[in-house]
Amino acid sequence: MKSAVIVFPGSNCDRDLAVCLRDVTGTAPQMIWHRETELPHDLDLIGIPGGFSYGDYLRSGACAARSPVMQAVVKAAARGVKVLGICNGFQVLTEAGLLPGALMRNAGINFVCRPVKLRVENNQNAFTARYAAGEEVRISVAHHDGNYSADEATLDRLEGEGRVVFRYAEAVNGSARDIAGIINNAGNVLGLMPHPERAAHLGQGADDGRRVFESLLGA
């Protein structure tokens, strides 16, 4: 599987994601600087990592979404290339218009950093095929702006189309309907706040996140 990880000023999980992809797929991803205007044409996966792109100035992910490379990411997604946005990457995907809604300040205005319990709501996609529907897993979060918000019509549409992929199984950040991760209508763009790359082998304390990457490899 050929993959790339986009690197913005302030990314701090790019190496974590790259190491995880290398370990699971056997091939190191290409690291793409945000100023690039083109991506390799043979990519299977584009990863947008967590961190604090541009220091979270303006809004989390807003500046990164307007980086030159994101135009290439949007075009690749339209061609069917899989895109995985984790934490700040999820924020970037909403700001770029690749996913609906927005990530707001956590309820309680607290930074949340701990393992949390998630429920797999949809396993009929390339990102979660190795999970069982309804399965509960534990993956860490680390965010200050992870409160997923959207209008009721959008939330109803996401629910009705089965596009809620992960849901918090405990109180975490105030997200509407406990949404932790959603997918686009075409099924090739996933954004999620928890960090599966930080739960990819038992040496990290848990390996529940590894199956995200195994699912992608199998796809």
Per-residue model confidence (pLDDT) at position 43: 97
The least confident of 3-7, 60-64, 200-204 is: 200-204
Query: Hey, how many other C-beta atoms are within 10 angstroms of the C-beta on 172?
Result: 22
pLDDT for res 22: 97
Domain covering 3-218, topology: Rossmann fold (3.40.50)
pLDDT of res. 211: 97
Q: Taking 90 as the threshold, does the pLDDT of residue 96 lie above it?
A: yes
Cα separation of 206 and 202, whole Å?
Answer: 5
- β-pairing, 189-192 vs 179-183, is antiparallel
pLDDT at 32: 98
Q: How many CA atoms lie within 13 A of 150 on its CB side?
A: 21
Domain spans in the chain, listed from the N-terminal domain onward: 3-218
Q: For residue range 154-180, what is the model confidence (pLDDT) as tens digits?
A: 999 999 999 999 999 999 999 999 999
- pLDDT, tens only, 107-144: 988 999 999 999 999 999 999 999 999 999 999 999 99
How confident is the model at residue 57, as a pLDDT? 80
pTM of the shown model: 0.96
Average pLDDT, the chain: 96
Which residue in 63, 87, 121, 143 is the catalytic one? 87
Residue 195 known to be catalytic: yes
Catalytic residue among 20, 34, 143, 197: 197
The verdict on whether 143 is a catalytic residue reads no
Distance between CA atoms of residues 146 and 52, nearest Å: 13
In this prediction, residue 202 carries a pLDDT of: 87
